[in-house]
C-alpha cells in the first residue's frame, strides 16, 4: 500500500526526531587500543600529554584521539550502528600521517543519521573493503564492508568516530559513551555535547589487555601467564574489571599441578597466593584471578583488592609468576620495563616472557 506524501512526511520527521539506539559495530569482543580523549580530541594537534576517558580517568596512548580504536583482524565484518544514509564510501583525501611519516589515504564509510532532530555522522576507517556506495540507505546491523589496515594505521583495527553539530553549526567529534565525570572539558572547549547512544546491552566493552600462548619463546614452564586485562572502565572503583589468567602447558606439565606454593605479583609488590588445595589440570588448565573480591571456583579466583592494581598511567607494568623453586615467569606490558630483570634460569621450569607486541596506535 502506498502512503500519501502528506501522510509520509510526518512519519519521516518522527523518525528524524527519535533517539538513536546504536548496536555493536562488529562481532565479538575486541580490546580497545585507544579511547576518546575528552581533554582535547584533536588528533595530531593536541600534544599536551593528557588523555581523559569518559569516566574521568587520565590515561595514556594516542593523545587527542577523536574516537575509539578496536583491535580487529583484517577482514572482520563491520556493521551499521543505526539505519541511515551512506554519506561517503571509498578512498578519503590524502593527508600526512605522523606515526608513519608519510602521506596516506584511508578506505572508509561515513553514515549520516539524525538523533532527536540533530545531524549525526559516524565514520568507519581503515577498512580493507567497502560494500556500500554513496546514497545507499542501510539498515541497523547491515554489513558495510570489512576491517583493514589502510590509511594512517600501524595495525589492523577499526577507528570508529561519531560527529554532531555544535553551537555554531560545525560538525565536531563526540563520544558515543557520553561523559560521566561532571562537566565535559571538550564541550567547554568548543565541542558538542556527548551522550550515551548505545541500545541496552549493545555498547562494546572497553578494556585493554595483552595475551600470549603458554611458553611462546621456547621455555618449558609447567604453568605460565597467558592473559592480563590491565585496564577496564573505572577499574579503580571496579577492580574486577581487571584480571590475570594463568595456564597449565600440557606439553610439559604433569596431569595435575598443585598451585599452593606459586605466587603472583606486580611491580608495586602486591602478592597473590593461591589457596590451599587449588590445582590446575589438563582438563582444567586455566584460572582467571580477578583483582577485586568474590567467591572462588575451580576456574575463577579473587585477589581481594578494593581498587585496581595494574598501572594505567604510565601504561606499563609486569606480572610475575613465582614458582616453588623461586624461579619466575615475567609478563610485561607497555613500552617501558618496570620490573627488575629476573635471575638467570636455574631449571627447565624457568621462563622469562619478553614484552608482548605493543598495541597499534592507529588514527
Q: Check: CB of residue 172 under 8 Å from CB of residue 139.
A: no
pLDDT at 159: 97
Tell me whether residue 138 is in a domain.
Answer: yes
The helix/strand/coil state of 15 is helix
Tell me whether residue 281 is in a domain.
Answer: yes
pLDDT at 10: 46
pLDDT higher than 50, residue 352: no
Cα separation of 210 and 265, whole Å?
16
pLDDT bin (cut points 50, 70, 90) of residue 148 is very high
Q: Check: CB of residue 63 under 8 Å from CB of residue 35.
A: no
In DSSP terms, which residues pair with 137 in a beta bridge?
A: 85
* CA-only gyration radius of the chain, Å: 23
Q: Check: CB of residue 193 under 8 Å from CB of residue 175.
A: no
Higher pLDDT, 360 or 241: 241
The residue range of the domain holding 313 is: 208-333
pLDDT higher than 60, residue 176: yes
- Pick from 4-8, 13-17, 289-293: least confident: 4-8
pLDDT bin (cut points 50, 70, 90) of residue 238 is very high
Same domain, 200 and 215: no
pLDDT higher than 50, residue 170: yes
The whole-chain average pLDDT of the chain stands at: 88
Cα separation of 184 and 75, whole Å?
35
Same domain, 200 and 213: no
What CATH number is attached to the domain comprising 260? Answer: 2.60.40.1260
pLDDT at 84: 98
Same domain, 237 and 146: no
Closest CA to 132 of 94, 83, 198: 83
Residues 6+ apart with CB under 8 A from 339: 267, 317, 318, 320, 330, 332
pLDDT higher than 90, residue 48: no
Looking at 155, 182, 205, which one is the last position of a domain? 205
pLDDT in tens, 272-291: 999 999 999 999 999 999 99
**DSSP secondary structure code for residue 298 in this structure:** S
Cα separation of 34 and 185, whole Å?
19
Looking at 174, 205, 236, which one is the last position of a domain? 205
In the block, cell 560545525 appears at 170
Tell me whether residue 22 is in a domain.
Answer: yes
Cα separation of 153 and 360, whole Å?
8
pLDDT bin (cut points 50, 70, 90) of residue 116 is very high
Q: Is the peptide bond before 244 cis (omega within 30 degrees of 0)?
A: no
Higher pLDDT, 51 or 150: 150
Closest CA to 22 of 171, 166, 179, 162: 162
pLDDT higher than 90, residue 27: yes
pLDDT higher than 60, residue 344: no
Same domain, 243 and 176: no
Tell me whether residue 200 is in a domain.
Answer: yes
The helix/strand/coil state of 127 is strand
Tell me whether residue 360 is in a domain.
Answer: no
User: How many Cβ atoms are within 10 Å of 92's Cβ, its own excluded?
Assistant: 17
pLDDT at 234: 96
pLDDT bin (cut points 50, 70, 90) of residue 349 is very low
In the block, cell 600501524 appears at 154
Looking at 177, 205, 233, which one is the last position of a domain? 205
pLDDT in tens, 99-115: 899 999 999 999 999 99
DSSP 324-350: TTS-EEEEEESSS--SPPPPPP-STT-
Letter string b/e over residues 32-71, b meaning 16 or more CB atoms within 10 A of that residue's CB: bbbbbbbbbbbbbebeeebbbbbbebebbbbbbbbbbbbb
The grid coordinates listed for 95 are: 593527508
pLDDT higher than 50, residue 353: no
Same domain, 218 and 185: no
pLDDT at 46: 66
pLDDT higher than 60, residue 345: no
pLDDT higher than 50, residue 235: yes
pLDDT at 150: 97
Higher pLDDT, 151 or 190: 151
Q: Check: CB of residue 224 under 8 Å from CB of residue 249.
A: yes
Amino acid at each position: 500500500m502506498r502512503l500519501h506524501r502528506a501522510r509520509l512526511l510526518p512519519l519521516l520527521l518522527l523518525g528524524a526526531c527519535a533517539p538513536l539506539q546504536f548496536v555493536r559495530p562488529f562481532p565479538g569482543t575486541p580490546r580497545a587500543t585507544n579511547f576518546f580523549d575528552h581533554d582535547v580530541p584533536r588528533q595530531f594537534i593536541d600534544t599536551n600529554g593528557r588523555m581523559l576517558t569518559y569516566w574521568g580517568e587520565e590515561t595514556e596512548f594516542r593523545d587527542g584521539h577523536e574516537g575509539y580504536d578496536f583491535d580487529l583482524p583484517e577482514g572482520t565484518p563491520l556493521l551499521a550502528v543505526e539505519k541511515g544514509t551512506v554519506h561517503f564510501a571509498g578512498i578519503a583525501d590524502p593527508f600526512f600521517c605522523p606515526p608513519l611519516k608519510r602521506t596516506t589515504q584511508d578506505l572508509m564509510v561515513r553514515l549520516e543519521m539524525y538523533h532527536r532532530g540533530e545531524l549525526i555522522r559516524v565514520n568507519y576507517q581503515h577498512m580493507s573493503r567497502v560494500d556500500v556506495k554513496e546514497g545507499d540507505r542501510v539498515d541497523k546491523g547491515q554489513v558495510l564492508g570489512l576491517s583493514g589496515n589502510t590509511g594512517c594505521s600501524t595495525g589492523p583495527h577499526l577507528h570508529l568516530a561519531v560527529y554532531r553539530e555544535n553551537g555554531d553549526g560545525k560538525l565536531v567529534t563526540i563520544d558515543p559513551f557520553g561523559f560521566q565525570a561532571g562537566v565535559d572539558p571538550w564541550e567547554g572547549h568548543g565541542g558538542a555535547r556527548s551522550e550515551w547512544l548505545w541500545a541496552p546491552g549493545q555498547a562494546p566493552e572497553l578494556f585493554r589487555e595483552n595475551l600470549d600462548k603458554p611458553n611462546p619463546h621456547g621455555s618449558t614452564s609447567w604453568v605460565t601467564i597467558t592473559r592480563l586485562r590491565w585496564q577496564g572502565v573505572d577499574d579503580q572503583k571496579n577492580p574486577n574489571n581487571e584480571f590475570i589468567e594463568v595456564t597449565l602447558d600440557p606439553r610439559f606439565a604433569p596431569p595435575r599441578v598443585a598451585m599452593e606454593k606459586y605466587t603472583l605479583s606486580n611491580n608495586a609488590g602486591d602478592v597473590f597466593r593461591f589457596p590451599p588445595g587449588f590445582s590446575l589440570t589438563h582438563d582444567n588448565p586455566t584460572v582467571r584471578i580477578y583483582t577485586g573480591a568474590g567467591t572462588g571456583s575451580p576456574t575463577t579466583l579473587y585477589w581481594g583488592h578494593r581498587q585496581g592494581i595494574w598501572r594505567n598511567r604510565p601504561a606499563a607494568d609486569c606480572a610475575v609468576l613465582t614458582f616453588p623453586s623461586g624461579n619466575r615467569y615475567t609478563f610485561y606490558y607497555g613500552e617501558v620495563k618496570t620490573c627488575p630483570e629476573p635471575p638467570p634460569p636455574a631449571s627447565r621450569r624457568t621462563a622469562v616472557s619478553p614484552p608482548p607486541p605493543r598495541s597499534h596506535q592507529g588514527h
